[in-house]
Amino acid sequence: MSELQQPFVADLRRAADGLAHAQASGLAVEAMAVSMYVRDIADALYCLRLTRHAELAERLARQATSGFPNLQDLFVVFSQLVAELLQALEGGDFDAATSLGPEHHQQLARLAAELSGQGEAAIDLSGLAYRATDQLPDPMIQQADAQVTQGDSDDIDLSDMQGLVYFQGNSNDLVESDNAQAAAADANDAASPGLSIYDRTRGLQRLQAMAQFLGDSGSDELARRGQLMLADHADWMVGIGQEVLAKRLYGLSRTLDLGDLRADSDVVDYLVAMLGQLPQPSKITGSVQSQTLFIELADIPANAPALERINHAMQVVNGRLQPVDNGLWMILPKSLSRLRVVPFMRGGQRYAISWAQFLSAETCTKPRGVDLLGEVDAPRLRIHGQSGAEPFVLYADAVLPFTVANAFVLPQVVAAPEWVAGVLVGEDAQLMSWLIPT
């Protein structure tokens, strides 16, 4: 087992043992302890890049929290799959996902089919998002080649972009009539006809207030269960007013395979602008996982000049660029109002980066570390990430469970470093400083 894997395998073991103990104690699958252990398993699996297993764990936990019936047998199958994974990982098999044999993957597919039949969207284990995450390179390999600088002549003019909130000033300046007019322009394409971005913003604010109220209720189990259910509803609500990618990207490639993928207008504006700076790909393929878009551009040169032209724009939308053979991945949140993040602790403070920019974390033996947050003595963990095409390192005392968080942009009158976009509030209603390494 590699040093990088060890902390996450240990987390996976602790969560799996906790789940086994809870089940042996006779707890029902809808009990809070059971769903919490499964969510911890999902977080560890994501860190280990076992994205297929992690997605199933996340779906299973969500359905248990929501009170779906007849999940007991699915929990048994899931526990067996996790036990097989742990046996391979603790046996030193780095590529556990591909070494477990066809029977394991058949069980995985059957579990996906069962969970897809529980009233939610179908799970496609062959999806683009899984291939992108499974193919992640080691962040330290060819690091020098990945360091690119911002070009002078072909840059995207960020001042011309009208969608992104932190180039528009205070997020409180949102005007109902403007947003309602934008939504009405194409109501048939909206995820929920008749509702606008304004409705979404108000709804997310109310859900956040309810989560805070539950957190102050004095009952930890009630608060956690309620907050998880509110988070699931917020994930649905964020789709209100989003645009269909296939419609906006029409004509930018000879072939589009985007299905019904949707994203916020500001994110789509940036995608269109970035694609306009690149040679036309032969095909654009897309998928979504955990509120994150995975866009593959086929048959284009992913060289340094091409990356330089779109690097800053991708940093602004909290994403990363990943060159692959004869193509390029663009990985970014589908909304900058609500996105999946990686929280971490540093000096008693909570920070978070976009999950789309996170690569890995490892134990750190250096006596001192320096990053964009400043100097730190005896850091415990080192986080590797990539902002646009540029790798970055952050030092942390602890990496917290991944979460989907609401984003609140700092008003212009508030002084802050350029890499602080605002604050994030996750499922537990705790504030986190939102970092955007640039």
pTM for this model (two decimals): 0.59
pLDDT of residue 318: 94
3-state SS class at 270:
helix
pLDDT of residue 127: 45
Which residues make Cβ contacts (< 8 Å) with residue 93, sequence separation at least 6? 99
Output the six-digit token pair for 217: 């209720």
Contact 436, 313 (CB under 8 A): no
pLDDT of residue 356: 94
Mind giving me the DSSP string for 216-263?
TSS-HHHHHHHHHHHHHHHHHHTTTTPEEHHHHTTTSSS-EE-TT-EE
Residue 12 Cα distances to 56, 261, 288, 295, 401, angstroms: 15, 31, 24, 29, 12
- Tell me the pLDDT tens digit for each residue of 170-185: 333 333 333 333 333 3
Give, for 204, the enclosing helix (H) or strand (E): helix 197-215
Phi then psi for 263, rounded to 5 degrees?
Answer: -155, 165
Output the six-digit token pair for 67: 């009170």
Q: Domain extents for the chain?
A: 6-124, 338-435
Mind giving me the DSSP string for 383-406?
EEEEEBTEEEEEEESEEPPPEEEE
Which residues make Cβ contacts (< 8 Å) with residue 306, sequence separation at least 6? 277, 278, 279, 300, 328
What is the separation, in whole angstroms, between the first and last Cα of the chain? 33
Contact 308, 149 (CB under 8 A): yes
pLDDT of residue 212: 67
Residues in the chain with pLDDT values less than 70: 1-5, 27-32, 65-67, 69, 93-99, 116-202, 204-238, 412
> Which amino acid does the sequence have at 418?
E
Q: What is the DSSP letter of 279?
A: P
- Tell me the pLDDT tens digit for each residue of 357-410: 999 989 988 889 999 999 999 999 999 999 999 999 999 999 998 888 888 887
pLDDT of residue 228: 66
